[in-house]
Homo-oligomer: A and B are copies of this chain.
Amino acid sequence: MDLCDKCGNPQIIIKRKQSGQMLCQECFIKAIQEKVLKDIRRQKLVTKGDKVLVALSGGKDSVMVLDILNNLRKRRIIDLVAVTIDEGICGYREDGVDIAAQNTELLGVKHRIISFKDYLGRTLDEIMADSGDRNACTYCGVFRRWILNQVAREEGATKIATGHNLDDETQSIMMNYMEGNIQNLTRIGVKSESSCEGFTVKIKPLREIPERETALYVMARDLPVHLAGCPYARDSFRAKIRDFLQEINQEHPTIMYSTLRGFDKIKPVLKKEFSRQNKLGVCRECGEPAAAELCKACSFRKQWKKE
């Protein structure tokens, strides 16, 4: 009979393929929280007095980040603010916003909802109606980062935490290996480090937690989560890599960890050799960090004005 390895409880909810470890609900929650908090400490993702902005979509990963970081808030190590971006995706985003609000209320964390419509004058649906065949993720990602960075400053946040898990991170690494995109590889990591003024450091506390376990965690904790998929998602290259990694993971349950560990050895060497020497400048329109005269967000917005 299967028993929890920690407490002997016969109601186990996970058998970890990579280690054979079996855990009951309570011990699983505890083990995951300890693992994430240990990763945060070991990698110095936050320091005492930090104010962390959690980018809270309402999906399982961001809800889990908020829930775990809230431990550090309760112990008065950090302060928290949750920000949900309402891109304006009709029939999809409304539920996510509601669920995000339920979670922050449950935990007593300050919550701000920022909409593309208010910030940019257009919803993502409106942008896409005009955009021809462009990929929605391109706009959405650029504007989300642009808004989050500004709101972080407004809030006096010192870090932005996102919900990227082990699967997400391994997919990004593989995509960039396969596209031969060395510049992108130098930027992937648990903590973005930019020496650019006005750029808030981003951290990924769940980078070592498999997707399967983030899903199990929010279920075990009975947290409200938004499970629907974005109607604009059509990133077939990433989806193929995700399917492949999940399949190979069946027989090689440590493969995502070994990919990550290998990459983490390779990355500092690439960074030393290939990182662009020139620092980010400042956008002449909005004052946000920019690689060119105009940042991506302002260059998109300029196109609209012309239309």
Contact = CB atoms under 8 A, between A and B. Distances in A.
A235 to B, nearest CB: 12
A307 to B, nearest CB: 32
Given A174-B178, A177-B177, A182-B265, 15 more contacts: A178-B248, A178-B255, A178-B259, A178-B262, A180-B258, A180-B259, A180-B260, A180-B261, A181-B262, A237-B248, A237-B251, A237-B252, A240-B244, A240-B248, A266-B270
A179 interface: yes
A173 to B, nearest CB: 8
Contact of A251 (B236, B241, B261, B262): B236
A273 interface: yes
Contacts of A273: 269
A177 B260 CA distance: 9
The CB with the most chain B CB atoms within 10 A, among A176, A177, A241, A260, is that of: A177
Contacts of A130: none
Given A240-B248, A248-B240, A252-B237, A178 B266 contact: no
A240 B247 contact: yes
A258 B179 contact: yes
Interface in A210-252: 236-237, 240-241, 244, 247-248, 251-252
Contact of A182 (B177, B262, B274): B262
A255 to B, nearest CB: 6
Interface of A: 174, 176-182, 236-237, 240-241, 244, 247-248, 251-252, 255, 258-263, 265-266, 269-270, 273-274
Please name the 10 residue pairs, one residue from A and one from B, whose CB atoms are nearest each other, closest first.
Answer: A180-B262, A180-B258, A244-B244, A180-B261, A269-B273, A178-B259, A269-B269, A179-B258, A240-B248, A177-B177
Nearest to A240: B248
A157 to B, nearest CB: 34
Nearest to A255: B178
Contacts of A252: 237
A176 B259 CA distance: 9
A110 B274 CA distance: 47
A269 B271 CA distance: 10
Contacts of A270: 266, 269
Nearest to A182: B265
A273 B271 CA distance: 13
5 contacts: A176-B262, A180-B265, A182-B265, A240-B247, A269-B269
Contacts of A236: 251
Nearest to A268: B273
Contacts of A260: 180
A182 B262 CA distance: 7
A179 B263 CA distance: 10
A275 to B, nearest CB: 12
A135 to B, nearest CB: 15
A245 to B, nearest CB: 9
